[in-house]
Amino acid sequence: MTLNERVPTAGDGRAADAVLSLLRWYEAAGVSMPAGNGVRDRFAETAAEATRRRGTTVSPALDTAASAGPASAPSASRRPSPSAEPPLAPTMPTILPLVPDDVLAADARARAATAQSLIELRAILAEFTGCGLKATAKTLVFGNGAEDAQLMLVGEAPGREEDLAGEPFVGRSGRLLNRMLEAIGLARDSVRVTNTVPWRPPGNRTPTPAETEICLPFTLRHIELVKPRVVICLGSPSTKALLRSDEGIMRLRGRWTTLDLPNGTQLPAMAMLHPAYLLRQPAQKRLAWRDLLALRQRLDAPD
Ligand code: URA
């Protein structure tokens, strides 16, 4: 269905509800105006319009006949040939059918479960169109670091710099994260890093619960494939999504708990304050330091 098809009437309650919820979904995803599927060449449009108005394909600079006045009626040879006009981009996008979030999440679970390696998982995620964030992000930010890391860190979502680079935690908070890891003797490339959603939310907003649920199966499969000894959730959204807790990050941070994975594996996990929060609240770095020491201890202890 496209937006310029028949407008639903009052008797069309269900269709109207569907259109409204779709528009709300677009709004939540940050879409504020309609756009075409391709890049719109406004210069080509202007040239085509001018050509149509003049009824000729001859460039204005060479169009001496046109200045001869109304007596010189346009001949067939001077009428614009349809193929000479640049095609106009469609004015409205094609709207995908509305699929309920739980169906999208179930589809994501089924797809993620088939990945037998990180390369496969990345390819499956790149093909996945069930999360609206993909439409506004520039790149897929899958994850980086050692594929057999003992420690895996899960952040919230890529920001602007991560979206441009296609890598997680490369901006300011990434640089602080690197220093935090170094402080307990861990090189950044020795750990695995990913996020709860792999596409940047518009304007760096927090991912919605639906976006998080739809992307979560890929993050969980990512953890299953890396098989780390320990998982750290960075910040509240990651903690809520992975550890299934509604408690505040200030209560949860620094407490060891268990992460249950879909394949039945259980891993020790802990929430920590997000580096972006620590940049805003440097006084809280003392809590982060406490948690880092607890993490070091855990990594040093035998399984
Ligand atoms: N913040 C996150 O949670 N993840 C990133 O990749 C970057 C910033």
243: domain CATH number? Answer: 3.40.470.10
- In the structure encoding, which two tokens stand for residue 253, read together? 């941070």
**17 belongs to a structural domain:** no
pLDDT for 279 equals: 98
Whether 169 and 71 map to the same domain: the answer is no
Evaluate if residue 84 carries a pLDDT over 70.
no
Q: How confident is the model at residue 50 (pLDDT cuts 50, 70, 90)?
A: low
| From 144, 153, 160, 162, mutation site for ligand 1 pocket: most ligand atoms within 8 A of C-beta | 162
Backbone φ and ψ of 221, nearest 5°: -65, -35
**226 belongs to a structural domain:** yes
Evaluate if residue 56 carries a pLDDT over 90.
no
| From 161, 169, 236, mutation site for ligand 1 pocket: most ligand atoms within 8 A of C-beta | 169
Q: How confident is the model at residue 29 (pLDDT cuts 50, 70, 90)?
A: confident
Q: Are 232 and 153 in contact (CB under 8 A)?
A: yes
Q: How confident is the model at residue 18 (pLDDT cuts 50, 70, 90)?
A: confident
Mean pLDDT of 249-265: 98
Whether 222 and 144 map to the same domain: the answer is yes
CA of 156 to the centre of ligand 1 (A): 6
Whether 51 and 153 map to the same domain: the answer is no
| Dihedral angle of Cα 206, 209, 210, 211, to the nearest 10 degrees | 30
Whether 86 and 111 map to the same domain: the answer is no
pTM for the model stands at 0.71
Mean pLDDT of 16-26: 78
CA of 208 to the centre of ligand 1 (A): 15
Give the range among 4-18, 97-111, 167-181 with minimum mean pLDDT: 4-18
**166 belongs to a structural domain:** yes
| From 154, 173, 176, 222, mutation site for ligand 1 pocket: most ligand atoms within 8 A of C-beta | 173
Look over the chain and give the mean of its residue pLDDT values, rounded to a whole number. 84
Whether 253 and 131 map to the same domain: the answer is yes
Q: How confident is the model at residue 69 (pLDDT cuts 50, 70, 90)?
A: very low
Task: Using the 3D structure, point to which of 68, 91, 114 is the last residue of a domain.
Answer: 91
**197 belongs to a structural domain:** yes
Structural domain containing residue 177:
101-300
Q: pLDDT tens digits, residue range 129-157?
A: 999 999 999 999 999 999 999 999 999 99
Evaluate if residue 97 carries a pLDDT over 90.
no
- The ligand 1 site (C-beta within 6 Å) comprises 155-159, 162, 168-169, 171, 173-174, 195, 276
Whether 76 and 110 map to the same domain: the answer is no
Higher pLDDT, 83 or 125: 125
CA–CA gap between residue 91 and residue 223 (Å, rounded): 42
Whether 63 and 179 map to the same domain: the answer is no
CA of 72 to the centre of ligand 1 (A): 67
Query: What number of CA atoms fall less than 13 Å from residue 24's CA on the CB side?
Result: 8
Whether 73 and 197 map to the same domain: the answer is no
Q: pLDDT tens digits, residue range 172-213?
A: 999 999 999 999 999 999 999 999 999 999 999 999 999 999
Give the range among 34-48, 78-92, 190-204 with minimum mean pLDDT: 78-92
Q: Are 149 and 229 in contact (CB under 8 A)?
A: no
**96 belongs to a structural domain:** no
**4 belongs to a structural domain:** no
**29 belongs to a structural domain:** no
Whether 66 and 161 map to the same domain: the answer is no
Give the range among 17-26, 66-75, 85-94 with minimum mean pLDDT: 66-75
Task: Using the 3D structure, point to which of 91, 123, 151 is the last residue of a domain.
Answer: 91
Whether 73 and 186 map to the same domain: the answer is no
Total domains present in the chain: 2
Beta strands, E only, the chain: 144-145, 151-155, 192-195, 230-234, 256-260, 266-272
Whether 81 and 121 map to the same domain: the answer is no
CA–CA gap between residue 170 and residue 226 (Å, rounded): 21
CA of 19 to the centre of ligand 1 (A): 33
Whether 87 and 198 map to the same domain: the answer is no
Higher pLDDT, 94 or 241: 241
Q: How confident is the model at residue 162 (pLDDT cuts 50, 70, 90)?
A: very high
CA of 195 to the centre of ligand 1 (A): 7
Backbone φ and ψ of 153, nearest 5°: -115, 135
**21 belongs to a structural domain:** no
